[in-house]
Chain A
């Protein structure tokens, strides 16, 4: 609490002292999108060293935290809210992981070699109730006849290696871009050299895009992305992924003249399928026999998630305004099941259907309009409406769901409206103020509606779906102001997010529902929940140096459960100092958190966390235009620490030194 008042006070001081400078209208503010550029030549990418993973790029975005369950597949959260409340897309296409234990969030199927940028939206219509993340993949470049970029590294902790290569070739009206990435890690260690068993993985990723320019300005692009991860350890969970695969295919047409609709038209057909297989065969018999959930049995689980869809959009812009319309149609199907094979010979095998083919058809229409309203006041209005029809297809699954929900209804419809208004006022070239208001709704996840007997290690409970869940609603107000001085920018961001019909699990009464020691929960609409946060940051840029300092505070509370919301970040301060000149580049960063006492004890099973301080450094040397050598050292003091964003107080990675070289050839 003191922190909150301190920040408000500090920011007030800064604003009062802001001088009045003549307005500068040459800056047309963009819609509020946070993004991190991964590949590509822009001045935003000041980090010279290639991102190790999509997660490491994601973590650069403000408000993003990642739940770590293992070395791969970290689940991104926006302001502490994850899957469901945050919708994740790849080039706007819907896609969802197939693991009911969330081992495979969408980010786990992508590699930095595929990515142009990652954007997050928090105050826009048509997102989840807490925001959206879109991974924008790179498309063939017509302006480069031939380029080869290759990033290769070795890292000390766990003996990780990676090789990733991107080739771009173009000739006339034809261009192709292809990437190949292979990553491998053996078991790593947490801080203080604590060995973590079952923490290795192997991952292969490939992408190919072929583009043709046809009929003047129009472009046809065929894209394929494949990802294949094997033997991925999830030390936090009771199982490891044996195989996690994704295939994403799309065919797009973009341009102005192919359609009778004015503006820049794009049409895309897409299909993706995610397959998941996990088991506990790598775990010791003593672990299997002594664990609290379903002891004494192996539990291989399978799951798949399939999406097919169509996206159409047009953007009509003139010098004063931008108007866009988007239409999306999609069909999604999800399945998950498991076997239970006793370690005691002679015990019959057991079988559980976890998601018996949940299916959804949805149609969404969204519009957005952006213009300068009055002098120096820019506004963006957006609205979206989505209608979804969903159903649990398999009858045996429906009869299972009836056990926990006697009034189970296999078919449900959701009408999901949303709208937003975003105002930005340019008081002067040194001072801008923005206000964003949004209302969003979301349908429950398939697992929330139809999941059956799903174990969550976060609160050590089994979960049953609830087919009659209402949509979750949220209202968000955000403020942002930037005050610029000669070498320093001060930014203050604050938000307040209120959920209505917040979806969470409530313990079913009576021990008849329990599974051994483990309670059974059912998803419900749990009334009002809210979260607020403030980030104050100062960025500076002076000659060869730049850097930033930021402090973030956040809290969340559920009125229904009288409990703090889970995954609220502790008070966190971050500091980075960067030096870059033509040949040399160096960066030091420090991240510290304060002790966290406000934790979620009913919705999750969080415990108080001590603070920690992490220091990391990196350096790079540009040998030539073709070669960059780099060295990074994460958690340089090998601190043993636990973040809020893990399960059962699992320790985070210890020190790791990574040495790599990036090769860049262009003709």
Chain B
């Protein structure tokens, strides 16, 4: 009788669960729609590590994807520990840049964000350094994938009034329109050449204006910290044309620095 009840309950659970399509215990499949750009790949610790991006990597905030597969079987690997670090080798020194560590995704494509503060040039080249612990094989290896960063003016590295170097990045609005737009910035600082943590307690005062016309716009919302160094606000564009967004970054009552970005639409 006890078994009968348990079997019945089990059956019921299975039936109900079966009704919900997404709860089917289907093994994770690789998202067949891969991002547009393949940046590079490397074999590490029995895994193939592939780097993807939606667009060419450029100075500013970039959303990057890492795909991990078993190098022999081709199946998705997610029982791993992965650490990424962008590294720029310059003639005199080596430095890193602000980066968010990827959260390993069941789907096989793990996104992360990185801010590149300089473009690839004769003075230096970028590579992404991976430290991968493949738990299924209990192996840890380190390797690098080189990549190219195009130039933009979306990131400003400025020494603040407190002597610290800050990295302020404007995330380009996808399709700027007249009226109100969401706008976001990332703020990081240089702790050491290899450590660029996000700054989460700054205040940003944002002023949009059209320099060619000498006017601004009213009713903007200053960006406030929303996590991981990202500051989200709202900007009003009263007409199309070239806009300048000036940001004054404060820490408490101290003004750290002021800089501006240009948007043209």
Contact = CB atoms under 8 A, between A and B. Distances in A.
A347 B264 CA distance: 10
Interface centre among A294, A352, A353, A400 (most CB of B within 10 A): A400
B218 A512 contact: yes
Nearest to A406: B219
Contacts of A348: 241-242, 264
Contacts of B210: 350
Given A350-B240, A453-B238, A512-B218, A399 B212 contact: no
A516 interface: yes
A172 interface: no
Interface string B214-250: 1111110000000000000000101111100000000
Interface on chain A toward B: helix, strand, loop, or mixed SS?
mixed
B218 A404 contact: yes
Nearest to B220: A512
A403 B219 contact: yes
B83 interface: no
B72 interface: no
Contacts of A351: 239-241
Nearest to A510: B218
B213 A516 contact: yes
Contacts of A344: 212
A413 to B, nearest CB: 24
Given A353-B178, A403-B219, A510-B218, A340 B236 contact: no
A204 interface: no
Contact of B214 (A402, A403, A512, A516): A516
Interface string B173-185: 0000111100000
Contacts of B180: 399, 402-403
A403 B179 contact: yes
Given A353-B178, A396-B179, A340 B216 contact: no
Interface string A346-383: 01111111000000000000000000000000000000
Given A350-B212, A403-B180, A340 B238 contact: no
B212 A342 contact: yes
Given A347-B242, A352-B239, A399 B178 contact: yes
B178 A400 contact: yes
A508 interface: yes
A464 to B, nearest CB: 10
Contacts of B218: 403-404, 508, 510, 512-513, 520
Interface in A389-412: 396, 398-400, 402-404, 406
A297 B239 CA distance: 14
Sorting the interface of chain B by its residue count into under 10, 10 to 19, 20 to 34 or 35 or more gives 20 to 34
A427 interface: no
B208 to A, nearest CB: 10
Nearest to B241: A350
Nearest to B239: A352
A349 B265 CA distance: 9
Interface string B189-227: 000000000000000000000101111111100000000
B153 to A, nearest CB: 15
A399 B177 contact: yes
B239 A396 contact: no
A563 to B, nearest CB: 25
A75 B250 CA distance: 53
Given A396-B177, A396-B178, A400-B238, A350 B215 contact: no
Contact of B216 (A297, A352, A512): A512
A340 B239 contact: yes
A407 to B, nearest CB: 12
A297 B241 CA distance: 12
A350 B217 contact: no
A577 B99 CA distance: 91
Interface string A321-353: 000000000000000000010101001111111
A171 interface: no
Contact of B239 (A296, A402, A453, A512): A453
A302 B41 CA distance: 55
A515 interface: yes
B263 to A, nearest CB: 10
A351 B178 CA distance: 10
Contacts of A400: 178-179, 238
B241 A294 contact: no
B178 A297 contact: no
A513 B220 CA distance: 11
Interface in B50-103: none
Contacts of A561: none
Contact of A399 (B179, B213, B216, B264): B179
A425 interface: no
Contacts of B219: 403-404, 406, 512
B177 to A, nearest CB: 7
A153 interface: no
B264 A340 contact: no
B10 to A, nearest CB: 54
Contacts of B177: 396, 399
A51 interface: no
A513 B217 CA distance: 6
Contacts of A520: 218
Nearest to B213: A294
A575 interface: no
Nearest to A344: B212
Nearest to B178: A400
Interface in A297-323: 297
A297 B212 CA distance: 9
A182 interface: no
B241 A340 contact: yes
A514 interface: yes
5 contacts: A297-B212, A342-B212, A396-B179, A402-B180, A512-B216
Given A402-B180, A516-B215, 18 more contacts: A294-B213, A348-B242, A348-B264, A350-B210, A351-B240, A353-B178, A396-B177, A398-B179, A399-B177, A399-B178, A399-B180, A400-B178, A400-B238, A403-B219, A406-B219, A510-B218, A512-B217, A515-B214
The 7 A-B residue pairs with the shortest CB-CB distance, nearest first, are A399-B179, A350-B241, A515-B215, A516-B214, A352-B239, A351-B240, A512-B218
